[in-house]
Amino acid sequence: MPDWAGLRVKTRQTIVAHGLCMEERELLGRVVGAGADVLFCATSDDVRRTLETRSVTGLLWRARSQPVGDIVAALRHAQERAPDAWTLLRADLTAGAASVICQVASMIRETALVSLCGFDDLGRDIGRVIAGSPTDGALTILSSITPPLVAREREIVVAAALLGRRRRYVRDLAVACRRSIVALERQLRNAGLEPPENILGRAISLHGAWRIEVLSQQVKQAAADMGFGSPQAFSNYIMRHTGMRPRTLAEMGTFSGLLARFAESLRGSAERACEN
């Protein structure tokens, strides 16, 4: 049974959906059932016109090959017209999509969720935003760590931040970025950045710290939600990448500190690459 099968929409939703294929439209209909009015828009202009005339509770945007500027402008307009509405951005990871995701992180991270094709379950993510719990730390992380990066390296770090919501491996990062592991390692090395296992490890550790410190989850629950085999495996992973056990992270309130260290490592590496 899918995660969203038991969803009950408490208040009627009016959802603007853009760019969805027929399969995605059918999935959206199954998730929301009769508890929502779904307005399908073919173009960015259609989205803007709909926002001018309807009061909406959510926007589901499937990013495909649209110009980055058009997507960002439409999302910004949606924020202005419906500041309390949730936003769900469904995307394959490309350089353009990475740029859009970073813009979303800077604009509406409190009410937005990014769903990564090939890794995240769209039905589950629709259920999450409708239930009112879109925030999971990824956009908060990205708002702090991506500004100093050029487009090609930004794509990799964005992928790590999104994939890091669960226990992932370097091979997953390579697949998301459409590169071989060797090519991924070479690109990061040439850019003066840490190896992929370190970047992904930092991202996963940040999500663990977010769950424990910000969401007040117990270690056992955080480990299960993030796909670790056991609380001990989760604890060992966090220890390996941060030097601290999860309980210590919670007691010290170190999510912001870990985030600052990650951002500083990216800035420092980028600066060293420029000097070389």
Query: Mind listing the pLDDT tens digit of every residue in the chain (276 residues)?
Result: 455 444 555 567 899 999 999 999 999 999 988 778 999 998 888 998 999 999 899 999 998 877 888 888 888 888 888 888 999 999 998 888 898 898 888 888 788 999 999 999 999 999 888 887 756 789 989 988 876 677 778 899 999 999 999 999 999 999 999 999 999 999 999 988 999 999 999 999 999 999 998 888 999 999 999 999 999 999 999 999 988 888 777 676 678 888 888 888 887 554 554 454
- Residue position matching structure tokens 């100093």: 148
CATH fourth-level superfamily of 148-275: Homeodomain-like (1.10.10.60)
CATH number of 13-135: 3.40.50.2300
| Helix (H/G/I), strand (E/B), else coil: 235 | helix
Q: How far apart are CA 125 and CA 223, in angstroms?
A: 19
Q: What is the pLDDT of residue 84?
A: 87
Q: What is the pLDDT of residue 253?
A: 66
Angstrom CA distances, 114 to 84, 103, 121, 148, 263, stand at: 17, 12, 11, 21, 21
What pLDDT, on a 0 to 100 scale, did the predictor assign at position 223? 96
Domain boundaries, the chain: 13-135, 148-275
β-strand partners of 116 = 91
Sign of the CA dihedral with 26 first, then 28, 33, and 35 last: negative
Q: Yes or no: say if 3 and 121 are a contact pair by the CB < 8 Å rule.
A: yes
- Predicted model pTM: 0.88
- What's the DSSP call for residue 112? E
Instruction: Give the pLDDT confidence score for residue 8 in this predicted structure.
Output: 52
Q: Is 248 exposed, middle or buried (0-12, 13-18, 19+ CB in 10 A)?
A: middle
What's at 202, amino acid-wise? Answer: R
Tell me if 58 sits within 8 A of 85, measured CB to CB: yes
Q: What is the pLDDT of residue 115?
A: 94
Q: Are 64 and 37 in contact, with CB atoms under 8 Å apart?
A: no
Predicted pLDDT of residue 15 = 93
Contact of 270 with 148, CB cutoff 8 Å: yes
β-strand 86-91 against 112-116: which pairing, if any? parallel
- To the nearest 10°, report the CA torsion of 257, 231, 113, 153: 60
Q: Which two tokens stand for residue 156?
A: 């990799």
Among 267, 273, 272, residue whose Cα is nearest residue 149: 267
205: enclosing H helix or E strand: helix 196-209
